[in-house]
A and B are shown apart, each in its own frame.
Chain A
C-alpha cells in the first residue's frame, strides 16, 4: 500500500514474552490461538451462540425430550389446522403435528448443515489455501480442478449422483453437497491467502526465516479466515435449503426422515393459505443459522488482535 508506513505487525507474537500462558502445553511464550481462546471466553456473544448450538445438538440427539408426539402420526382430517391443545404449532397439509416435525427435523437438518459446511470448508480451505499460498503450478492445477466441479450444475450433480448410487441417507447427501460445494470456499480462501501473503508482516516473517508451515498456520490462516467464516456460516443455511431441494426432487433424504428443508419446501406451495406450516421450520432454520453466524463473528473477533 503506497501511502502506509511500514505497518507494525501487532499480531506476530515474535518476542512478546510479558505473560506466559500457563494453560498452554507449548513452551512458546504466548500463542495466538491461546489468546484467541481466552478472548472468546470473554465474549458474551460466544456464550449465547454456544448455548444455542448446544441446545440444537441436544434436540438432535434426543428429540423426545421436547415432545411426546410422533412426527409420523398424521391425520389428514386435521390438515392445515391451526394450533390446538397439545399441538402448539398446528398441523401441516398431511395433518402431521408441526411442532413434533420441527423438533424431529433438527437432527437431519443440523447434521446436513454442519457436516457439509465442515467438510466443504476444511477441504476448500486446504485446496484454496495451498493454491493461493504457493501460486504457480499448484494454483493452476488446484484451481482448475475446482473449476471443473464448479461447472457442474448442482441439480444435475444431485440427480445423477444420488440416483445412480441410490442414495437417500444423510451421509450420501452430505458427501454430494460437500463435493459440489468446496470450490466456492476454495476460491474465497485462495483470494484471502493471496492478499494475506502480501502483507508486510508475512513478508517480514519470511525474511526472518519462518518456515512455511509456521507462516501458514500463525500468520496467514488467522488473517485469511474471516471471509471464509462469513461464507461458510451463510452456506450452512443454504446447504439446508439445498438438501430440501434435492429431497423435493426425490433424490435427497427419503421418507420417513424428517427435515426442516423438506417441510419448508412442502409448505412453500401453500404459503398463502396456511403460512404457519412454513413459519416454524423456517424459524428453526433461522435460529440455527443465527447461532453459527454469531459463533463465526465471535471467533473472527477473537482472532483479530487489533481488537485487543
Chain B
C-alpha cells in the first residue's frame, strides 16, 4: 500500500531531521543551598582573565576572587593597601612595592612578587591579546611588548623587576604620581602558576586570592563561590558562599527576586523602580555609580570647532532639563551631573558638586540666547547619535532633543539618530565619521579624577572620541602627574577639569545609579563604588 510506504519514508525523514537537531547536553543540578547568597549575574563577554575583562559582568566575579595590591573603600572610594604592605616613590616615576608576607592563592600556592610581575608581563604582551593591556602602557618597555606596528621585540616589561619574594620595583616611562591609585583595578591582579601552565584548566575554574574561591563554574549558567580559606584580607565572607546565576534579562531576574528564587539583584530595571517599594517591601536602594552618560561633539568637523561654537555647545547643555528627565524617565535611578567625575569618588578623589555650575543647569532663556550669540546650530539641524542595541539610550536622546526643541521653539531642530550596533557606533567614532553630537558615556576603572580626565580629554587619548585637543589642558595633566602628593595632584586635575567644562567639550547629562534589591532571606546588602554588591558582608538568615 502506498500509504504505508510513504509512512516509512516520512519516518526516515523524521529520523534525519531529529539527528540533525539533536545536540547533546545535560545540565548539572543546583538547588537552593542554605546559607548561600543567590545573586543575579550575566554571561561575561570575555574569558575570566583579569587583564582581559573590561566589562561589569566579568568584573563582578573578579572582584570576589582576586585581591589586588590596593582596594577601594566601599564608602569613601579611597584606595587602601590590600595585598600591598607599602607602595613608595620619591620621584613619581620609580615605585617600590612590598607585598604582605605569607599570602596564598586559593589553591594553596604561595603568592609572591613574581605572581604580580608575571601577571603584568603577560597582560602587556600583545600576542596574549589582553584587552586591558593599555593599562600597562605607562610602564617602561610597553612600546616593546606591544609596539604600534609589527611584532613585539621584548617578551617582558623592562620596567618591572623582582627584588625578592615580597618586593618588586616598577619604573614608569614618565612621571605619574597617582599611578598607585589604579592598582586596585582588576587588570593588576596577581596570577597563580596554574594560569600560565594549565590555562584551559584555569579558565574552567579560575583561581585567585580574593575573599571567595570558585568551587564550580558552569559556563553561561552558574558559578558557585565559597569562602577562600587562604584569604588574608579584611573582608572575610559572612556567609557560606555565593551562587551567581546567569539571567538573560533584568526583568527576568527581577521576577525571580519577587518570587523568592533570587536573593540579591543589582540590576533592577528603571521602569520597575516605582514598583520596587511595594514589590520588595522596602528592601532596595539606589545610589550614583561611577558611570555617566554625556554627549560630545566632533571637534574634527570645523562647523563644531570654530570660534563662538563654545557658546552654542554651552547653550545646548543649558537647554536640557536634566532634572525632569532623570525623574520622569528614570524614576530617580539617574542623577543630574554636576561635574565630570562621579559622586562615588568622594571629594578626596576629585568629585566637586560645584564644578559644572551654570553650564549643567537648565536655563531656557539663557540657553536660547547663547545659541543665538554663537551663530546658532550648524545647519539649523542637530542629531544626537547613539547606539540603540543596549541600555535604552533612545529614551534620553529623545528626551534631550525634545528639551532642546522646546527651548528653540522648533519641533524638529533636534532628533535622535540611532545606530544599530555598538560595534558600528564605535567604528563610526574611531574613524571620525560623526557629523553631529554623539553619545559619550564613561564607566570608571578606578575611583580617581585622573581616570575621568586622561583617557577622555588628553590629546590623542584612547577615549577622546571628539578628538578635542587643548595645550593648556595637556600641560596641567603633566603637572598633576609629576606631583607625588595625591592631594595636590587632585587639585591640579580639578583645574584641568574646569577647562574642559569652560570649553563645553561635552554635555554632561547624568550619573547612572547602581540599584540593588534583596529578598527577605538576606541582610546587610551594600554596593561598592563599582556598584557591585559587597557580597562578603551579606548575611543570610537561617
Contacts and interface: CB of A to CB of B under 8 A. Distances in A.
A93 B389 contact: no
A254 B398 CA distance: 11
B48 interface: no
Contacts of A269: 269, 271, 392
Interface string A67-89: 00010111111011000000000
B388 A93 contact: no
A272 B272 CA distance: 9
B274 A249 contact: no
Nearest to B320: A76
Interface residues of A, number: 28
A188 interface: no
Contacts of A251: 388, 418, 420
B258 interface: no
Given A93-B395, A94-B399, A255-B398, A249 B420 contact: yes
A150 interface: no
B325 A162 contact: no
A42 B389 CA distance: 51
B424 interface: yes
A159 B403 CA distance: 29
A270 B328 CA distance: 12
B387 interface: yes
B388 A249 contact: yes
Given A250-B389, A255-B415, A273-B271, A162 B328 contact: no
B127 to A, nearest CB: 32
Q: How large is the interface on B (under 10, 10 to 19, 20 to 34, 35 or more residues)?
A: 20 to 34
Contacts of B389: 249-250
A250 B274 contact: no
Interface in A229-258: 248-251, 254-256
A140 interface: no
Contact of A72 (B325, B388, B392, B411): B411
A95 interface: yes
Nearest to A73: B411
A163 interface: yes
A94 B420 contact: no
User: Would you call the interface of chain A mostly helix, strand, loop, or mixed?
Assistant: loop
Nearest to B393: A250
Contacts of A93: 328-329, 395
A270 B331 CA distance: 12
Contact of A254 (B269, B395, B412, B418): B418
B324 interface: yes
Interface in B308-336: 321, 324-325, 328-329
B417 A254 contact: yes
B277 to A, nearest CB: 12
A272 B328 contact: no
Interface in B402-450: 402-403, 405-406, 411-412, 415-421, 424
Contacts of A272: 271-272, 275
B394 interface: yes
A70 to B, nearest CB: 5
Contacts of B269: 269
Contacts of B401: 255
A72 B401 CA distance: 10
Contacts of B388: 248-251
Nearest to B417: A254
Nearest to A77: B324
Given A249-B389, A249-B420, A255-B416, A76 B328 contact: yes
Contacts of A74: 402, 405-406
B402 A95 contact: yes
Residue with the greatest number of chain A CB neighbours at <10 A, chosen from B395, B416, B418: B418
A61 B160 CA distance: 72
A96 B329 CA distance: 13
Residue with the greatest number of chain B CB neighbours at <10 A, chosen from A96, A162, A269: A269
A273 B398 CA distance: 20
B408 to A, nearest CB: 12
Contact of B420 (A159, A255, A270): A159
A76 B336 CA distance: 15
A70 B406 CA distance: 12
Given A76-B403, A93-B329, A270-B271, A162 B417 contact: no
B438 to A, nearest CB: 13
Contacts of A77: 321, 324, 328
Nearest to A246: B420
A94 B406 CA distance: 12
A76 B421 contact: no
Interface in B256-302: 269, 271-272, 274-275
A222 B306 CA distance: 68
A159 B419 CA distance: 10
Contacts of A163: 419-421, 424
A47 B416 CA distance: 41
A273 B274 contact: yes
B271 A72 contact: no
B329 A79 contact: yes
A289 B483 CA distance: 70
A306 B411 CA distance: 57
Contacts of B420: 159, 162-163, 249-251
Contacts of B399: 76, 94
Interface string B57-101: 000000000000000000000000000000000000000000000
Contact of B418 (A70, A72, A95, A250): A250
14 contacts: A76-B324, A77-B324, A94-B329, A94-B395, A94-B398, A94-B399, A163-B420, A249-B389, A250-B389, A250-B394, A254-B415, A255-B416, A269-B269, A272-B275
Chain A to chain B: the 10 pairs with minimum beta-carbon distance, closest first = A250-B388, A250-B418, A79-B328, A72-B411, A251-B420, A163-B420, A74-B402, A76-B324, A255-B415, A250-B420
